[in-house]
Chain A
Amino acid sequence: MNIIEISRLTYVYAAAKENTPALNGINLNIGEGEFVAIVGANGSGKSTLARHLNALLLPTEGTCKVMGLDTARPENLWDIRRQVGLVFQNPDNQLVAAIVEDEVAFGPENLGLPPAEIRLRVDKALQAVGLTEQLHFAPHLLSGGQKQRLAIAGALAMEPKCLVLDEATAMLDPQGREEVMQVARDLREQGLTLICITHFMEEAALADRVVVMHQGKIVAQGTPKEILAATDLAKWGLEPPLATEIADRLRRRGLNLPRGICREDELVATLCP
C-alpha cells in the first residue's frame, strides 16, 4: 500500500517572482515501510515537497494524498498531521517546551489523549531515541544531535506511520549526524516509513530508493547504486558519496573494482574481502 501518493503536483510560492513554480509536475508514490531519500541542490524544491507531505503547504495544482487522504481537504488536516511526523533542520527552533518530557508530550497533548496514555507514549518515544536519562533536562542543555533526537521523539509520540526528516542533520556535527541517522535506521527496522531529505549523499546511500530533484522536478530515481554511483550527479549540483569517489579514483588507477559502490562498508568489504 502507498502511504504517499503525489500526482502532477505543482506549487508556486505566493511571493515568487514571475510565478516560477517551486515544484513542477511532481509524480511520486512512496510505499509503506519504504526508506526514501530525496536529494537535490539548494533551491531544488525538496523542502517544499516535504512540507506538502503533512499539509503545511497545499498543492497549487495536482494532488497529494497521505494514506489515501487528500491534503487539500481541510477535514483531513489533523489526521494527516498525525500520520506524518516532520522533523526540521534547525534543532533550536522546533522545540517548544522547556523540559525534555514536556517536549515529547506536546504532540500527544495536542491530540487530547488522556494523561496516562501520554505518559506511556513519552516514555516509549524517549526510549526509542535513547534519551530516557535526559527526561528532566532543559532542551538548551542538550547537544545538537540530542536535540534532533528529541525532535524525532516528539514526532514519534504521535505514533505516525511515516517520518519525514527535512534536512534534520544539516546543522549537526558529524557525531550528531551519525546519532540521528542511527536512530532513523533503527526506526526503519521497526517498520516506520522513512523519508529523508538531505544533501549528504552518505545518508542517501542508506536508503532503499533515491529521488533526485532539480529545479522543482524529479529528474532521476532508483536504488542508491543506480543513482549515486552514476557519474552525472554533478549536472544536478550534487557530488557522489565519498565511497563512490574513492572507488572511482582507485578504478582509474587500475584497481579492478565493481561499479555501484556507494557506502563506506561496501567499499571496505570490497577492498578487504
Chain B
Amino acid sequence: MLNDIALGRYFPGNSLLHRLDPRIKIVLLFLFLAIIFLWVNSLVYLALGSMTAALIFTAKIPLRMVATSLKPLWWIILFTFLLHFFGTEGEGIFQLGSLTATWEGLKQGGLITFRLALLIILSALLTFTTDPLALTDAIESLLSPLKRFGVPAHELAMMMTIALRFIPTIIEETDRIIKAQESRGADFTTGNILTRVKNFVPILVPLFIAAFRRADDLATAMEARCYRGGEGRTRLRRLQLGRLDYTACGVSALIVGGIFLLTQWGII
C-alpha cells in the first residue's frame, strides 16, 4: 500500500550534471532561479529553457519524470495562467460571462506559466541528478560558515541522514500496523472523510510510540559509538571541487553576464 512512495527521485547516472559537485549544483540552481525571477523576458526564458532541455537530455532523465515533477503544482500553474489570460487588459479574444480573454493575457499567461515550469523543472533536476546523501553533505558544507551565527549545520545534516535512513523503516512499520489493524476489522476505505480520519488514529498512536522508542534506542546506540556532535568530527567522503566544477561556474557566469549586458544595452 505504501511501498509506491518514491523516496527522493534520484536517477543514478554519470552525466555532467551527475558528476558536478552537489554544492556547486545548489549554488548554480539558486543563481538561475534568481535570474528567472529578475528578468521577465521571453528571450531570456528561451535561452534558459534550451539550457534546461539540454541538461535534461544529457542527464538522460525520462521526460515522463520531468512531467511528473510538475504534477503537484499543476493546479497552481493552471490557475496562474487563467488569472493572466482573463485578467490582463487588451484586445479581446472571447467573452466568458463578465470575463474577457485577451491576446495580451495569453502572452503574459504563457510567459508566467513557462517561468513557473522552468523554476520547478530546474529544482527537480537537482534531486534527479544528486544522491540524497551527497545533497545532505553539500547542505552541511554550504551552511557550515553560518555555524558562528548559531546555524546548526551539522545537526541539520545529521537529521536529514537519519530521516533518509528511517523513512523506509517507518513506512514498512506503518504498512504492518495497517495490516494488523485491518486484520482486527478496522476499516480505512469507507465512510465519510471525518470517519476515515478518525479511523487513522489507531495507526498513528502505535506509530508514534514506536518512533519515540526508536529515537531513544538510536540515541543510546549513537552515544555508545562516541557521537558527541559535529565538533571534531571528520567524514569518510569529502567533497572536492574539480575542473568540471570550475568550468560549470565559468559557463554559468558567462550566461549570466551575457544576459545582463544584453539587457543593459537594450538588445533584448
Contact = CB atoms under 8 A, between A and B. Distances in A.
A249 interface: no
Contacts of B222: 96, 106
Nearest to A141: B168
Interface stretch (A23-31, A108-116, A205-213): A108-116
A97 interface: yes
Interface in A65-103: 78, 81-82, 85-86, 88, 90, 92-99, 101-102
A97 B237 CA distance: 13
Contacts of A114: 234
A6 interface: no
Contact of A115 (B217, B224, B235): B235
A119 B236 CA distance: 6
Interface string B218-243: 10111111111000111111100000
Contact of A78 (B162, B172, B226): B226
B165 A110 contact: no
Contacts of B162: 96
A114 B233 CA distance: 10
Query: B interface, how many residues as a size bin?
Result: 20 to 34
B217 A90 contact: yes
A118 B234 CA distance: 9
A96 B161 contact: yes
Which of A56, A110, A115 has most B Cβ within 10 Å?
A110
B214 interface: yes
Contacts of B164: 98
A102 B235 CA distance: 9
A114 B236 CA distance: 8
Interface string B173-204: 00000000000000000000000000000000
Interface string B136-167: 00000000000000000000000001101100
Contacts of A108: 234, 236
B109 interface: no
Nearest to B224: A86
Contacts of A139: 165
A54 interface: yes
Given A109-B233, A109-B236, A112-B234, A94 B218 contact: yes
Contact of A93 (B168, B217, B233): B217
A56 B220 contact: yes
A246 B221 CA distance: 39
B22 interface: no
A227 interface: no
A106 B225 contact: yes
Nearest to B218: A93
A212 to B, nearest CB: 25
Contacts of A112: 232-234
A81 B224 contact: yes
A221 to B, nearest CB: 25
A93 B221 contact: yes
B161 A93 contact: no
A94 B217 contact: yes
Contacts of B238: 115
B105 interface: no
B220 A111 contact: no
A138 interface: yes
Query: What 4 pairs between A and B have smallest CB-CB spacing?
Result: A93-B217, A94-B221, A105-B236, A98-B164
23 contacts: A78-B226, A81-B226, A85-B224, A85-B225, A92-B214, A93-B217, A96-B162, A96-B218, A96-B221, A98-B133, A98-B164, A106-B227, A109-B235, A110-B225, A110-B226, A110-B233, A111-B226, A115-B235, A118-B234, A122-B236, A138-B165, A140-B165, A151-B221
